[in-house]
Structure 1
C-alpha cells in the first residue's frame, strides 16, 4: 500500500519475474482498453472524492478497475472476500458504494450482501454486483440478496460509472 503512491506495480527479478512481467503488461493493456475514448470535460467531477469499496478475489480485476476509478478521483478501498468486506465497512463507515464480486472464497458476494443488509446503518448503501460468469438468473439472485444493481464482467467502465452516478445521487 505504501509503494502504491510511487507506482501501481513493481516486478522484482526472480524465478517467475518474466511471467509476472507479462501479467503486468497484460493488466496495463487491459486497463488502457477499458478507458473511454474521450471523456467529456468535467464529467467525472461528481465522482471525485467518493469512497468506494471493491470486493473481489482476483487481483487483476482489483488492479484494473481500481486504477480506472482512482483515475477519476475516487478513493478506492479493497477486500478479497466477503468477510474482509464486512470488516472494511465497520472500519470505514464513510464508504459510499460497494462493488461486489459474486464468486469468491470464504464468503461469496450473495452472502456478503445479505450480511451487509442486516446492519441498519447499511440499509441504503448502494451495492453493485459484478460477476465474471454471467448466468441466467444471476441478476435476479443478486437483487434478491440485497444488491441495488448488477453488471456482468468484463466491466464496461462507462456503463459502470453511469450506474455509480445513479446510485450515489439518490
Structure 2
C-alpha cells in the first residue's frame, strides 16, 4: 500500500507534492488551536500569522488592546492562547491584559506578552499585568512555537 501511494504521489505536480509535505510536517500540538494575535504592526501580524498557520493553528487578529478586550469578551471561550503586543495605540497591552483578567471567565486563558520592550522591568510589568509568559521581539519563531506549545498543552481550570 505504501509503495502504491508513493507512486501516486510522485506522479503529482511538484506544487501538489509540496502541499502534501507541508500537511504531513504540521505540528500536531498546534493543529486546530485558536490563537488571538494582538498587534498593530502589519509586518509582525504577517510573520506570526504565517508561522502559526503553517503549523495548523487558526489565527484571529486584532490591532490594539481595546479590540482585543472586546474580542475576548465576545468570543474568548473559543480561544486557546492570546499573543499580546504591549506598545499599541488606543489601549496598550498592559491595560488590555489587566482588563481581560478582570473577567473571571478568562482568569486562566494563556496570554503571552510579545514585545520589543526587553528589559527585566518590562518582563516583570507584563507578568504583573496578568500575562502568563513573555517573549521579546524580534521574535524567534521556534521559541514562539515552543512557548505556545507549552501553554496550550497545560491543563487549565474551567473558565
Q: Taking structure 1 as the reference length, what is the TM-score of the superposition?
A: 0.73
Is 1:67 aligned to residue 44 of structure 2?
no
Aligned partners of 2:26 and 2:55 also within 8 Å: no
Q: C-alpha distance in 2, partners of 1:67/1:119?
A: 30
Match of 1:105 in 2: 89
Is 1:118 aligned to residue 94 of structure 2?
no
Indicate the structure (1 or 2) with the bigger Cα radius of gyration.
2
Match of 1:80 in 2: 63
Higher helix share: 2
Q: Output the aligned Cα RMSD.
A: 1.5
Give 1:25-40 correspondences, 5 Å limit: none
Give 1:39-50 correspondences, 5 Å limit: 44-50=27-33
Q: Deviations over 1:93-142 (max 9, x none)?
A: 21110000010111100000000000000000000001113233111000
What is the deviation of 1:86?
Answer: 1.2
SS of 2:40 mapped into structure 1: coil
Count of aligned pairs: 131
Q: Deviations over 1:60-81 (max 9, x none)?
A: 1001110110111100000000
Match of 1:169 in 2: 153
Match of 2:157 in 1: none
The runs of 4+ residues in structure 1 deviating greater than 6 Å are none
What is the deviation of 1:166?
Answer: 1.1
What is the deviation of 1:43?
Answer: 6.5
